[in-house]
Amino acid sequence: DLSKKGAVDEAIEHVVSLLNSREEYFTTSSCSGRVILIDGAPESSAVQKQNCAWLFVSHHKCTSEDLLSALAGCSGDAVLKFEPFVLHVQCRRLEDAQLMVSLS
């Protein structure tokens, strides 16, 4: 796993393992969904994950106290992002991809 975290999110590990155990499929990227608080204002409308300081990240429910506490480490502006569940799957054949799409 090449993410900053370095591992598959626990909440979706069973789904990733199931897909990767099949000959027809393998996952290339996944995230169970997360809330991120990033230090600094973005230079553009798209906040870059590289070269930024993460003040807070959670793949679980968080409270306003969690976020306010993390803001104490902020050097100025901060960006709050919510990223939903995402799963990238590569399929061996077109028929496998069509089945995956029909089930999703």
**pLDDT, tens digit (0-9, with 9 covering 90-100), for 45-85:** 555 556 678 899 999 999 999 999 999 888 888 999 999 99
Residue 81 · residue 47 · CB < 8 Å: yes
69 shares a domain with 93: no
Residue 25 has pLDDT above 60, yes or no: yes
Residue type, 55: L
29 shares a domain with 43: no
Number of domains in the chain: 2
The residue assigned the tokens 């990767």 is: 20
Domain that includes residue 91, residue range? 1-33+84-104
73 shares a domain with 40: yes
28 shares a domain with 4: yes
pLDDT at 1: 52
91 shares a domain with 56: no
pTM, to two decimals: 0.68
69 shares a domain with 104: no
pLDDT at 50: 60
Residue 66 · residue 103 · CB < 8 Å: no
